[in-house]
Each structure stands twice: as structure tokens, then as C-alpha cells.
Chain A
């Protein structure tokens, strides 16, 4: 079996073991979170995107341990990632599968970055973004610019938080969103730094 095949199987195996929640309830809960944020931050779209990222980060730093713990007791092997391609595969095929029941595809792989393509987004079922308000004279009005809203920005935070726990500092950006009319949801992940582990340089032998 190829390596990526076994990772897919591992993801499916774990998905079978975790407790499930109703997907509609999940999507509706997330939707109400978004409307609450829009209300709290007074339709300040960049700030809402920012807050979603922060929420995701707090989720990510915690949920990665669950992934490792559950894979250990269920006898699912997650290989130690030696290169970025493997990390991307694990995030796409195990992480997304275990927590959301969908898997995504990896693309645009370079030394320092990769993209995740999500054809199914469990957060955005039922969602239609409002149209921008247009003023009476046809010019754009002062309403919020909904095209700037990254509805599923929480993913970016989750990935950033989770990878930080395994010593990878990354930046994530939601670059394609089907809600905004793009063909596919695309999350771009860029590695900024690999945090060194172990004794500091002062303690290294000459």
C-alpha cells in the first residue's frame, strides 16, 4: 500500500472511532457563533476574521493532543513527519477526517508551503452571504463589505494552533472560498519557522 493510502485509511479508521455530532446542528451552531461575532464587533469584518482565527487557535492547540491520544489507543500509526509533504497529508487526511468527517486534497506543494483544497465544507452548509448594500446613487454604501468575510477562518486558526504544538510555526490564509464564488475552498499554509527542540545553543558541546 502506498504511504498516502495508509494515511487515508488511518483517518477513516479514527473517524469510525470518535463520537459523532449531528452535522446540521454543528453547522447551525457555527452559524450562530458567526452572527454573534458580527453583532459583538459591530460588523467590523477584518476584526471578525481575526477573532475567528484566535478562536481556532485555541481549539487547535488542544485538539492535536486528542488526535495523537486516540490514534495511540486505537493502534493507528501516525508516521513521524520528516518532510512537509507528510505533514500536509496528515493534516488533510487524518486531521480533517477525524474531526470533521471530510478529507481534503493537498496541492501547490513547495519546500515552505502547501495548499489544502476542501471540496466539502461542513461549516458552510445552508450559508448564503448577504449582498453588499448599494447606495441610491449606485455608489457603494457604508455597509460592511461582505466579500471580505472569511466565513470559515476558524480552520486557519486550528491548523496554526495544532502545528505550533508540534514545533511548526505556520501562517494560514483562506484564499479561496466557495461562499464568495470561488471554485473550491483553498487554505494556504506557509511555514515560517521550525522551532528547535532540546537544549539551547549555550549548552551544546563545542
Chain B
């Protein structure tokens, strides 16, 4: 049971951050990541439209498979934080919310960070490492 990958998609579907959360996460090239990010963004929008319950339009929150779970948290400002993990991993929603806080503290408060742009911040990476440490990843 371990977290595998984290990626963050901005509100127009651009990938703004991706990283592996453990060393046995599969290697994925940057171009593939960009494709995954925008594909997920579209699927999320389609899922929201296709939902029979009109009162809530949340899109994809969780995909479960035999070898993988994918958990998505969309903020009200439209940014999507997505984590993939091995089945049985717990607290993913909590981790996503903690990462949202790290994003507001480390990326948004950096005056040189431009909204919607890729996050290249050491502080943010450290904060995510810290969260991973607290939620017991090896």
C-alpha cells in the first residue's frame, strides 16, 4: 500500500505539477504526463455533464481498479489535485486537502509564482514530502 503519483491540473486543463510519491512508482515521461493531465481534465468534465444527479456536478472523485486507485479533489476555484495509489491506501482525501494547503502557502504566496503556471517550488516539494512523511509512506 503506497501512494504512487501526484499531479495537479489547472482550471483550463493544463498540467502544472507532477511528481512520483514513492520510488516504486512507474516512470512516466513528461509528454505522457501532459497528455494524462489534459485527458483527465476532459474526462472529469464529461463525467460531470453525464451525471444523472444534476444538483451536484462534481466530476470524478474516485476511480478504483484492481491494481490502482485514483483520487481527485477539485477545489472551488477549479484546480484539480489528483493522487494515484495502490489499492487499500487510506487517507488519500486528507492528503489531497493537505496538499491544497501546501499549494496555497508555498506556491500562491510566492510573489514570483504566476497563477495557472507550472509549480517549480522547492518549498512546495518539501511540504509535500513532509505530508507524505506524516501520512506514513515509506
CB nearest to A67 among chain B residues: B104
Smallest Cβ distance from A7 to chain B, in angstroms? 16
CB nearest to B48 among chain A residues: A198
Find out whether the CB atom of B76 lies under 8 angstroms from the CB atom of A69: no
Q: Is A62 an interface residue (CB 8 A)?
A: yes
Q: How far is the CA of A2 from the CA of B77 in the complex (A)?
A: 27
Q: Is B115 an interface residue (CB 8 A)?
A: yes
Our pick among A68, A166, A199 for the contact of B49 (Cβ within 8 Å) is: A199
Find out whether the CB atom of B77 lies under 8 angstroms from the CB atom of A64: yes
Which A residues fall within an 8 A CB radius of B?
61-66, 68-70, 72-73, 80, 165-166, 197-199
Q: Is the interface of B mostly helix, strand, loop or mixed?
A: helix
Q: Which of B24-32, B60-68, B95-103 contacts A (4 or more CB under 8 A)?
A: B95-103
A-B contact count (CB 8 A): 49
Number of interface residues of B (CB under 8 A): 19
CB nearest to B79 among chain A residues: A65
Chain B residues numbered 1-59 whose CB sits less than 8 Å from any CB in chain A? 45, 48-49, 57
Which B residues fall within an 8 A CB radius of A?
45, 48-49, 57, 75-79, 97-98, 100-101, 103-105, 108-109, 115
Our pick among B77, B97, B98, B101 for the contact of A165 (Cβ within 8 Å) is: B77
13 CB contacts below 8 A, A to B, read A61-B115, A62-B104, A63-B108, A65-B75, A65-B79, A65-B108, A66-B101, A66-B104, A68-B77, A69-B97, A70-B104, A165-B77, A197-B78
